[in-house]
Amino acid sequence: MLKKIGLISFLFVASLGQLLAQEKTNNPSFRSLIAFDELFKLAAKEKKPILFEAYLPTCSHCIAYDKTLRDPKLKAYLQTNYLAYQLDLSKKENNLFLRKYQIYIPSTPSFIVFSPEGKIMDIEPLGDETNSVVGIQQILNRAKNPLACSASLLEKYRKGEKNMDVMLSAGYFSRLSMDTTHTLEIVNEIVRQIPKEQYQDERSFLIMQKIMLDDENPLFQHFISNLSAYKAKFDSLLVLQTAENVLMSSLYCSRARNHSPIRMESIKNGLRKLGLPEPQIAMRTIVLEVLIDLDHKDLEKAKEKILGFYGGKAIPDREKEFWCKQLTRGQAKGEPCPLP
């Protein structure tokens, strides 16, 4: 009997999820999604900005926002001010669209606004505090304003504006629009303006959560060296996640091939402070370390690192194939793999 009830409950939840997903795509405040090329042509013709709501059908926050977005006032507002569409991020083609335009969505739902000319004006992850008709209208009024949108704040920064609020918004936008160069530059400028006695304030922690991409700055070095103090003040899991995200961003960024041995050891020490065991740390760093050695033409050192990683055990065939490809790259054709 219990098994039967469990099955019925499962089917009910599954059906409910499908129903919510179906209702989501039928939200009357949004237009039916058309081919992206046609959509941008339509925006240019009608001289209207484009709004995308990026969502997932199973996201509880998205479902909560969906109820608000069905309000007749918002429907009228969107019809007047935007070409409004929804992007279901469970669909591959929508993720490819975001990748094409270099848009990073850290959470759903999020608003993405393009100008009538097809330029990104704003990217806004949505929180519970703005889930109201007034809150959504305020976000969208700012997002379509050429003088107030996030892209305009980044432009103000590029022209020399160093106001903290402007830089925080500009930095977050550059992070979400995958403009790593400006994100790093803005973070470094922000950190220069923060007094050391404010490193453990809520704003400083928020900076590390939202826009910090690099471990090599005074704020993050203070953070990773004083984790217990941050854990006492903020959610301990969030503190660890934030530290790990920054360390891994430093490890997997395009600049990582230029990391010095000292920098690599610093990143490893950071991961140790998070409690990661040595095998996990080695798993995360081995490829980069080998590639750095090969960039320096030190084939023997790269080989030693690989063999040390496996600790004398046989290297699995597929992994050996990968390593041999790296080790023989740039060598004469037919050169044997140096691994045993």
Give the tens place of pLDDT for each residue, 186-211.
999 999 999 999 999 999 999 999 99
Task: Please give the pLDDT value at position 339.
Answer: 93
What is the average pLDDT across 271-285? Answer: 96
Q: What is the pLDDT of residues 134-182, one digit of tens each?
A: 999 999 999 999 999 999 999 999 999 999 999 999 999 999 999 999 9
Q: Where are the domains of the chain?
A: 27-145
Residues 6+ apart with CB under 8 A from 88: 24, 25, 55, 56, 57, 94
Which residues share a beta bridge with 50?
A: 83, 114
Q: How many CB atoms neighbour CB 281 within 10 A? A: 17
Q: In angstroms, what CA-CA distances link 251 with 83, 238, 247? A: 40, 20, 6
| Residue 15 token pair | 């059906």
Omega cis (within 30) before 125: no
CB 183 within 8 A of CB 152: no
CA-angle at 325, arms to 321 and 331, nearest 5°: 145
Q: Is the pLDDT of residue 82 over 70?
A: yes
CA atoms within 13 A on the CB side of 334: 0
Identify the pLDDT of residue 5: 43
* Residue 336 host element (H or E): none
pLDDT tens readout for residues 11-48? 444 444 444 444 445 689 999 999 999 999 999 999 99
Rounded Cα distance between 337 and 320, Å, is 9
Please report the pLDDT score of residue 26 as a whole number: 67
Spatial distance between the Cα atoms of 22 and 168, rounded to a whole number of angstroms: 37
pLDDT over 70, % of the chain: 92
Q: Residue 6: pLDDT above 80?
A: no
pLDDT value at position 12? 42
Q: What is the reported pLDDT for 7? A: 44
The average pLDDT across 216-221 equals: 96
* Domain 27-145 class, CATH top level: alpha beta
What's the pLDDT score for residue 254?
86
How high is the pLDDT of residue 270? 97
| Segments in 274-338 forming alpha helices (H) | 278-295, 299-310, 317-327
Residue 302 burial by Cβ neighbours in a 10 Å radius (0-12, 13-18, 19+) = buried
User: How does DSSP classify residue 121?
Assistant: E
What mean pLDDT, rounded, does the chain reach? 92
DSSP-derived pairing of the beta strands 83-88 and 50-55: parallel
Q: What are the structure tokens assigned to 73, written together?
A: 């006032």
Whole-model pTM: value is 0.85
Q: Which residue has the higher pLDDT, 258 or 334?
A: 258
Half-sphere exposure of 175 (CA within 13 A, CB side): 23
Crossing angle of helices 218-225 and 236-252, rounded to 10°: 130
